[in-house]
Structure 1
Amino acid sequence: MIGVLTAVVSDLASIFGCLIGLSDTITAITFVALGTSMPDTFASRSAAINERWADSSIGNINGSNSVNVFLGLGVPWLLATIYWEVKGEKFAYPTGSLSMTVTLFTVFAVICLGLLVCRRRFQVFGKAELGGTRTPKIVSAGICMSLWLIYIIMSSLQAQGIINASF
């Protein structure tokens, strides 16, 4: 059932992207990624509300992202490698297309983890990863949402060929 739903979401997102003039890459990093992450977001919210500590919600997000990155990249590449090996050809993917997005993701993830450490250690945040007074919560959420927006913009600009950042 998950496979069927994934295929439906993928096709619908691709059609929607085509209708509004977005490439498949931009559709994937926005609508498909958002659609697959929303259940994890709500699960993390529930864990944060229903538990005394934020560890479960943060662990859920990290675990989900790890599965998405490691299995989401590893399994298709393994299957493609096996497929092309069976056909007697070498599987090769051009370099440079993933380096910027992976680097951005890594840097932004480190910034988010640093923010969590700061929230845990400094009184201005109430010495809490989640919660605290209103202003630090809004600033923290704004930082995280800004990082996501910057990631989407930079990745979209690269996908459209407007910038050519290769590390």
Structure 2
Amino acid sequence: MLGIKDAVTATTLVALGTSLPDTFASKIAAEQDTTADNAVGSITGCNSVNVFLGLGLPWLVAAIYWRIKGQQFRVDSGDLAHSVSLFTVLSLVCIAVLTARRLIPCLGRGELGGPPVQKIATGALLFGLWISYVVLSSVHSH
């Protein structure tokens, strides 16, 4: 209805809708633990389940369905290579930021929280990584 491409909808609305509840679960884990390990593990695990089950299960069902029908199940790759490459690069930046926050004293000596300036700057940077992913994926899909 709005003329938004499927790839843009998938990387924004669908991804946000499936990940937002996991974000709140990770926030609670971060508040209840003395380290950020459970929070980071929670969000990583939740997103892994979303990706592997959210893609794998429907893919498996479709492959079985079309095999029973005697037809080939085929999906064109589209922008998957670009999206995965971009996600990998931005994920490595995120991991580097979390590692630096843990190891460098002036950054707060922890992945989450810490001094207000470092905490806000890290949050803004990570939010910026998400915005970068959405914008670069959207531009590439047009």
**1:146 alignment counterpart:** 128
Moved over 6 A (4+): none
Matches for 1:15-164 after TM superposition, within 5 Å: 18=1, 20-160=2-142
Distance 1:94 1:39 in 2: 30
Q: Name the aligned partner's letter for residue 151 of structure 1.
A: Y
Query: How many residues are matched?
Result: 142
Provide the aligned C-alpha RMSD in A.
1.5
CA 1:51 to 1:66, structure 2 compared with 1: closer, same or farther past 3 Å?
A: same
| 8 Å contact kept, 2:108–2:115 | yes
Partner Cα separation in structure 2 for residue 137 and residue 112 of structure 1:
14
Give the counterpart letter for 1:59 in structure 2.
G
TM-score by length of 1: 0.78
Identity within the alignment, %: 47
Match for 1:70: what amino acid?
A: F
1:96 shift after superposition: 4.3
Deviations 1:116-136, CA, capped at 9 Å, x for gaps: 111110011121111111121
Give the TM-score taking structure 2 as reference length: 0.91
Task: Give the drift of 1:147.
Answer: 1.0
Question: 1:116 & 1:92 partners in 2: Cα distance?
Answer: 39
Unpaired segments ≥5 residues, structure 1: 1-17, 161-167
Q: Distance in 1 between matches of 2:55 and 2:17?
A: 18
Name the structure, 1 or 2, with higher relative contact order (CA <8 Å, separation 6+).
2
- Where do 5+ consecutive residues of structure 2 fail to align? none
CA–CA separation in structure 2 for the residues paired with 1:66 and 1:42: 16
Query: In the alignment, residue 21 of structure 2 is paired with which amino acid?
Result: P
